[in-house]
Each structure stands twice: as structure tokens, then as C-alpha cells.
Structure 1
Amino acid sequence: METASPARRVAVELSRCGDKGVTGPLQGHHHEAYAIVLPLGNPLGEEYVRGKLRVRREGLLWFDRRTFAFEDELLMALKGRVSRIPECVEFAEGLFLQGFVEGRTLRDRRFGIGRLSGRHVGQLGELFGQIAVVKNGELALKMLPEDVFRPSVRDGDTAGFLGGLIDFTQGEVYEKNRGEFGSLFDRLGVSAASLNGLRDRASGLTPRPFCLVHGDLHRRNLIVDSRGDLWFIDWELAMIGDPLYDLATHLHLMNYNECDALRVKEAWRGAVEAVCPGASEGWERDLPHLLTFKQAQSVYTDVIRTAVALQLGVGALAGASAGAASPGPGAASPAPARRLARAAWKVQRVLALARTALGLPSVPTRAEIRATYGEWVRRRG
């Protein structure tokens, strides 16, 4: 019998129902997380039936800049300032318990992929307005010392902010991992020089006052509760910066149709301007440049993530059904072939979307990408 991890043992001790009251580990890459039935004397309040205990996994690849050392401390600092975010308490030194938001993510097909109701558009706009008033220096929280790419620029220097993001992608994603994944980038035609065009675009951005940005507003981080309200979770990538970056990231991750994208843009602009005049200055001209960066960033991150998923044989790329019959002697396993095919589709898609952003003369075919990843995996056994 497999020994329980330290995090699970803590979850069992906290749960009112012992091991039966623990669900998990929950889906997630950077944390080992468990949902627990809260004990008597619920520290999170009567609104929550369950809490979420998360312990950060060490030694993992990070593809996004992080500013705050502890997401839990940020949530506690935002209490009373930002609506519909999880309650959070520190129950022991360095151990935090978050309220578990009961509901379904917007990834659930019953909500319609890529669509938001008018109510949810309004609540999303409310979020943008609430965080737009949170300025640099207002949150006395521990910062990550290793975030060497945090731009030491004056408030409103949007060009410096985007330049710092580009530097992070080049240094911490591409250069830092080139020893292991460099052959993939080379075969796909992507290099550090591919980011030069983005730097030129960044230099002309319009100044806007900086504020808190969530940085990761995608469907899995948007929860609809039983009352139909929209909640916002996973603040680990939050930072102080250009408010337009949050809109660009959200649009890139959500892949709205044109009509819904327009509704969200209008909600964002109205919300940030109402509380922070000038926060949307030049947004229509600058938004395409930030979207272009997000497309390019996806290439560098997805090339590596896809390789890791193939090497481990797990994750979203896994195509084999559990319990499938094993192939006969000498036969090729169908699961790796299916995973390679899905990997090729995924990588070709992000390359095609970012072709102009990265200045790529062409995009490899799916067969070429499949062969590239197949060779990379074989070399690693």
C-alpha cells in the first residue's frame, strides 16, 4: 500500500471525517491539493462546507513570471477589496486553508464553450474594476527574490512591463531549458531571435497606470456557484503591472467569438476607467501587441509542456483508454502514436497562430512535428 504524502496526512488530520472527508489530490500541476470536509469550529466561516489545502511542489518548470511569494497571503490581503475570491486563513505557520468554491468551472460544456452570460460579463467587469484600484506598494506582501525579471521601471511604463515579460520568456523559458529542449526548438524553427520583433512592438506602448492583475483568467479558474455567481480562483500568477495585460491574457485563453470578445472588452474598459482614469488609454492600439506576445509565449511554453507530457505518458495528451488490451509481441503500442498525433496537432496550431508574431517563414507539417517529437522521446528512452 502506498504511503500517504505529508500533505495528505495533514488533510486527513484536519478533516472532520478523517480520510473519508478528503478528496484528492486535485487536478493541478504546481501544487499537491486536497479538498477536505471542514472541522467543527470552521475557521473559514459558515459559507464553506469544504476547504482546500495546497502544498507547493518543488523542482517544477515555471513558464510565467510570479511576483508574490504566497498566493494565500495575497488572498488574505484582498479580503474586503475583491468580491468572490476564496476565503483564506493561516491555521499553522506556513500552512493555509482556502475555502473550496463549490460549483462548476466555465470549462463545463453546459455553459457553452467560449461564451459568458450577461451576468457573468458584468461580474468579470466588476473584478477588473476592483483590482484596478490596487496599486503598487499597497500590498505589504513578501515578493519572490528570484523574480529577477521584475522590471525596475516607473509606474505606467507599459513598454518596460512588456519588455520584462519578453525577457522572462527568453531567459527563464527558452534559454534555461535549451539544454534539454533545444533540439525541438531548432527543428521547429524557433529561436531567441524570434522574439526580437515583439521587443520592437513593445517599445511603442501607451503609458497606463499600473495596478494588480490576476494574470491567469481562463475557464478552469472561473467557477460558477449554485447561485449562478462567478468566482475567481488561482491567483498565483498575479502581479502589479499593465491592466491591459489582464484583458489580453483573458481573451487569449478564452478564445471568444467576435461578439463575446467585444462584450468583454467593453466591460473591461468601462470598469477600469470608472475607478482609474487613464487605465484604458491607447488600449485599442496596444491590445493587438499584447495578444501577439501571448501567442508567441504559448509557443515557447507549449513546445516544452508537450515534450514533458509525451515523455511521462500522462496529462491531456494521453489518448489511451484505461484498461485497453496490450499489443501483441512485436507490435507497436497505439497509445504513443495517438499521443504523438495529438501533440503534433497542438504544436502546429500554436505555431500557426504565432507565425506572424515570431516571424516564422513557414510552419512545419504535422508529420514533421510528429517525427521531431518522436525522435526526441526515443532519445530519452
Structure 2
Amino acid sequence: MSGGERALYGPLKGYHHETYVFPLPGEPGAPGRTRWKCREPRRNLFWFDRRCFRSEEDLVRALSGHITRIPDVIDVGEFGLQKFIEGRTLGSRFSFSDVIPDRLIDQIVELFEELSAIDPEKLSVERSCVPEDRPSDGDTAGFLERLICFTEKQVYERNAHRFGGLFQALGVGEGAFSHLRRNVPGMAARPFGLLHGDLHRENFIVDPQDRLWTIDWELAMVGDPLYDLATHLYLMRYRPDQADEVTRRWCQAVEQVRPGSSRGWEEDLPRLLAYKKAQSVFTDVIRAALAVDARSAALSWWPLIHAGRKVQAVLARAREALELEHVPTHWQVMEALRKWARKDAARERREADPSRP
């Protein structure tokens, strides 16, 4: 499709896909010509989030005309290509300690407003979740229960044979889910809508004209709109004063478009944030463990130090949500990861050669 390897740029950094960027052959060679993304799902991935739509490209097509700044999609042969948005990610321009400028906050709020205006039942996009796994419109308690159930069954229990001992060493066990389920009863009813599901700084692209584009829609779902705000606040890590401002403006925007969308947010936003903090523990512990390579005789210390720091921080943020008795120190986390990595490397060697003791 690219016409030659010299035109390729990539692979881009990303967890879910291997992505390459290139101009199509025959397009004008002048600077500023359009480049496109070809994405292939990575094999044997751990999925940490529920998925609702079978094809991200089909969803992005359906959202054209409803969401102001999303990539175009074209078909080249059997492949759907997304337009590559030229610019920089929001995360590369502003650190967690920075205040995001008002001109960009305005566009984030506009995105939430546009999402609220979409009737998900009118989107002609094939769903991947079975009807039995879809709470009825407004059943926010059922929606949160399905999120907890997915993390419990598909992330924790499904991988307990490999990572269960590591979670136990870090003080996280099956009881975590009973703690989270205490937040389910009493949720206020809110009309369901389309959620992006992953609105963080690396999924916002700021182009040279200071326009904010939203990319990576693979985790989009239908559900409680307050969950999209909770996910956004947790992942963006705004300064407290700006988080309060974004929450206030979100409430105003969604209520104008779909009344009732912010109902009960004062009580329910902390419940959803508690789930996000807990979910990140299971996500980041597994990812950090996989980043520690113990297959060689000498375990590299820098990845271990980096992974330990990340896991210790996510455990600290989730201490109240998971009702942890204590948060292990950085050194204790590193030691737990080191021991796990040694055992996992031994397991791999046994599976590769069953005759080994």
C-alpha cells in the first residue's frame, strides 16, 4: 500500500495495535500530503477493558458528522485506513503538573457534548457484546456490576494461574471485588450514551492550528455517561482545581443535550473513580510484570525499578478503593516482581522442555 519501505513510519507506540503510517502511492509529493494509519491488532494480548464494537473503523465512519474532530477512514482493498492526524499528543505538550489551556478544555467539553447528543441505538455499527451482557438503558448499577465482573472474571481469575501469587504478594486478593461491589447498590439512573472509554492525554492530538482531535476509539462502549467522565478524570490526572472545573462544565454540557445525564454525580462519581483506581491495579500489575524480563541469567534492574515505581504508585492511589491494609514500599514491590519473574521464567522453560525438572 505504501509503495516502498522508505515511505513507512513506525511501528507507533501502542498497546492494542501494531501501527504504521504512510502516504498512499500516487498522491502529490509536496509537504503536507495526507498520511494514513494501517493498524493490525496485536496477537495474544491481555484485554483489560470490555469491548462493545467489532470494528473501530466502522464506528469512526458512523461517527462522521456527529463528532467534529475524528480521523477520516478510507478503504484500500480489504483494509480500512484511518487518516493520520499531524500534530502532537496532549501529553507531549503538557505534563500532569501543568494546567491545560482553556482553549483545549473548551474542545474536550465540546466532545462530551457531542457524545451526549448521539443515540447509540441509531448507530449502524455491529456490536460485539451479547444482548445478555448489556444492562438496560439507565441501569447504572448493572453497568458498574458488569465492569466489575469483567475485571474479576476476565482479568483476575482468567490469569490467576500465572499472576495470582504476585497479586497476593502485593496484598491484593479476591476480596477486592467484594469491596468494589459495595459501591453498586443505590446508583442514580442516568440515560445511557456512547462513551469513548479511554480519553487520556495520548488519545488527544493537537494539530498546528490548536485543534484537538480524538483518536483510538477501540474501547468505545454504550453505557453510563458518568463513567466516561470518571475514566477521563482518572487518566488525565488534572490538577485538583482544574478537575473540579472540568466536572462542573461536563455536568452543564451533558444536561443541556440529554437531561438527567449528570443525575446523582456527587455520590456516584467517587464510586466510579474507585472502580477505575482498582482496575488500574490489575492492569498495571500485569503489564509491569510482563515488562520485567527474567529469561536471561541476569535480571535487568532498570526495568524492575521502573515497574516497581509504577506499581507502587497505582497501589497507593487504590488503597482506599481496595481497602488495602498497607501499601508495600517500592523495594517490596520490586522484590515481589523479581520473585514472580524468576518463577515465570522457570515455568516457561518447563513448558518449552517438559523433560526438565
Identity of aligned residues (%): 47
What does the per-residue CA deviation read over 1:142-172, in whole Å, with 9 as the maximum and x for residues that have no partner?
222xx46974322011110011000000001
Please tell me whether residue 188 in structure 1 is matched to residue 170 in structure 2. Answer: yes
Residues 312 and 328, structure 2, Cα contact 8 Å, conserved in 1: yes
Please tell me whether residue 105 in structure 1 is matched to residue 99 in structure 2. Answer: no
2:115 to 131, 134, 139: 131
Please tell me whether residue 117 in structure 1 is matched to residue 101 in structure 2. Answer: yes
Matched with 1:224 is 206
What does the per-residue CA deviation read over 1:69-120, in whole Å, with 9 as the maximum and x for residues that have no partner?
1100000000011010000122223x11100000000111467755321111
Matched with 2:184 is 202
CA spacing shift, 1:52–1:150, aligned 2, 3 Å: farther
Please tell me whether residue 378 in structure 1 is matched to residue 347 in structure 2. Answer: no
2:2 to 8, 15, 25: 15
1:294-313 pair list within 5 angstroms: 294-311=276-293
1:174 to 153, 156, 159: 156
- 1:202, distance to aligned residue in structure 2 (A): 1.6
Please tell me whether residue 92 in structure 1 is matched to residue 77 in structure 2. Answer: yes
Residues 294 and 341, structure 2, Cα contact 8 Å, conserved in 1: no
Residues 151 and 160, structure 1, Cα contact 8 Å, conserved in 2: no
What does the per-residue CA deviation read over 1:274-325, in whole Å, with 9 as the maximum and x for residues that have no partner?
1101111111221111111100101111111110111389xxxxxxxxxxxx
Matched with 2:349 is none
Matched with 1:316 is none
> Aligned with 2:292: secondary structure?
helix
Matched with 1:341 is 305
Residues 63 and 169, structure 1, Cα contact 8 Å, conserved in 2: yes
Counterparts of 1:86 and 1:150, CA distance in 2: 32
Matched with 1:66 is 51
CA spacing shift, 1:209–1:227, aligned 2, 3 Å: same
Unmatched runs of 5 consecutive residues or more in structure 2: 346-357
CA spacing shift, 1:166–1:110, aligned 2, 3 Å: closer
Matched with 1:161 is 143
Question: Which amino acid counterpart does residue 75 of structure 1 have in structure 2?
Answer: V
1:6-45 pair list within 5 angstroms: 14-15=1-2, 18-40=4-26
- 1:177, distance to aligned residue in structure 2 (A): 0.5
- 1:32, distance to aligned residue in structure 2 (A): 1.4
- 1:258, distance to aligned residue in structure 2 (A): 1.3
Matched with 2:320 is 356
What does the per-residue CA deviation read over 1:317-367, in whole Å, with 9 as the maximum and x for residues that have no partner?
xxxxxxxxxxxxxxx96x722222222221111111111111111122222
Please list every run of at least 4 consecutive aligned residues from structure 1 whose deviation after the TM superposition is greater than 6 angstroms: none
Unmatched runs of 5 consecutive residues or more in structure 1: 1-13, 314-331
Aligned pair count? 342
CA spacing shift, 1:49–1:27, aligned 2, 3 Å: same
1:236 to 207, 218, 225: 218
